[in-house]
Amino acid sequence: MTAGNADAWSMPGVLGFFDTERRTTAQVYASEWFFLKDRLREGVGVLDVGCAQGGFASVLEENLTSFGYTGIDISAAMIERARTRHPRQRFEAVSEADWSPLGAETFELVLVLGILHLHESWRDTIARAWTHTAGSLILDLREHDGPTIEDKAVSSLRMDFGGNSAAYAETQVPYVLVNSAEALATVRRLTPGARRISHFGYLHPVSGSASCPVAEAMANVWCIER
Ligand SMILES: C[S@@+](CC[C@H](N)C(=O)[O-])C[C@H]1O[C@@H](n2cnc3c(N)ncnc32)[C@H](O)[C@@H]1O
């Protein structure tokens, strides 16, 4: 549910968590950097879906002197902090189903990182992101060899990584585990006209805040090129 997820990501402790996490090149995961490093070209235009406080704008600043950056997020509170942190970049609060502030704009590089396994309408998000992709779409999924699990009652993430009161543990978003063969089929189906589809990832323990039936999942980053 959009409002529920946006509220979860807007809890003060969760906002505070992103004050320090995921904002330097050193904090980019190896699987993300594998694809990202070759696409950091001067003048690149980037759309960052689920941008939180614009951490990837800081990463771009570390590596480039000129680039365009637009960050969108379902949490208006994250967007407010992002604007304060990066006054020269563009940020828009959106809903899961409505990215109308972007109009028909396309971007050379679209990032959808750290969000697809954490919301129900992840397939729609991939399809929508692809419509805004002029060059490369980089996204990540959590995969395993069992059947896809997307029932929040079976697999969820507690927001207790951002705060330790009961309210954080009781607030949960889905923790979606996609069957690997289904992940390939889904990515292919949702990115019509792709010229090349690649992925790189590794088996990794699931988040310590996840309540889910598996101990390890493939953290797989996909790069889909037009
Ligand atoms: C785990 S953080 C990931 C932040 C960043 N992309 C990264 O990789 O470090 C999740 C962020 O995505 C946002 N988010 C969650 N679901 C979303 C959706 N369907 N569309 C856009 N943003 C979403 C949350 O509000 C939160 O700011």
Q: Which domains does the chain have, with CATH numbers?
A: 2-225 (3.40.50.150)
Q: Cα dihedral angle (48, 49, 55, 58), rounded to 10 degrees?
A: 10
Nearest in space to 224 (alpha carbons), one of 124, 140, 142, 137 = 137
194-208 burial: b if 16+ Cβ within 10 Å, else e: beeeebebeeeebbe
Cα–ligand 1 centroid distance for 49 (angstroms): 7
The answer, yes or no, to whether residue 1 has pLDDT greater than 70, is: no
pLDDT band at 18 (very low <50, low <70, confident <90, very high): confident
Which of 35, 118, 209 maximizes ligand 1 atoms within 8 Å of its Cβ, making it the mutation to test the pocket?
118
Kindly state the tokens that stand for 216: 């390890």
For position 74, what pLDDT does the model report?
Answer: 97
Kindly state the tokens that stand for 66: 């000129």
Strand partners, 109: 46, 136
Rounded-to-integer distance, Cα 22 and Cα 160, Å: 18
Cα–ligand 1 centroid distance for 41 (angstroms): 24
User: Do 147 and 129 form a contact (C-beta atoms < 8 A)?
Assistant: no
Ligand 1 atom closest to the Cα of residue 22 is 9
How much is the mean pLDDT over the chain? Answer: 95
Give how far the C-alpha of residue 127 lies from the chain's centroid of Cα atoms, to the nearest Å.
14
H helix intervals, the chain: 2-9, 12-20, 30-36, 55-63, 76-85, 122-131, 166-170, 180-190
pLDDT band at 19 (very low <50, low <70, confident <90, very high): confident
Kindly state the tokens that stand for 50: 């689920």
Q: Which amino acid is at 11?
A: M
The answer, yes or no, to whether residue 14 has pLDDT greater than 60, is: yes
H helix intervals, 97-164: 122-131
Nearest in space to 86 (alpha carbons), one of 110, 62, 115, 112 = 62
Rounded-to-integer distance, Cα 86 and Cα 62, Å: 13
Cα–ligand 1 centroid distance for 124 (angstroms): 15
Ligand 1 atom closest to the Cα of residue 112 is 6
Cα–ligand 1 centroid distance for 72 (angstroms): 9
Nearest alpha carbon, ligand 1 atom 26: 52
Nearest alpha carbon, ligand 1 atom 22: 50
Nearest alpha carbon, ligand 1 atom 13: 50
Nearest alpha carbon, ligand 1 atom 9: 22
Q: Which residues line ligand 1 (CB under 6 A)?
A: 5, 9, 22, 49-52, 55, 73-75, 78, 96, 113-115, 118-119, 125
Rounded-to-integer distance, Cα 143 and Cα 220, Å: 7
Rounded-to-integer distance, Cα 7 and Cα 4, Å: 5
Residue 224, number of CB atoms within 10 A of its CB: 26
This prediction's pTM: 0.96
Cα–ligand 1 centroid distance for 198 (angstroms): 23
- The tens digit of pLDDT for each residue in 122-175 reads 999 999 999 999 999 999 999 999 999 999 999 999 998 877 788 899 999 999
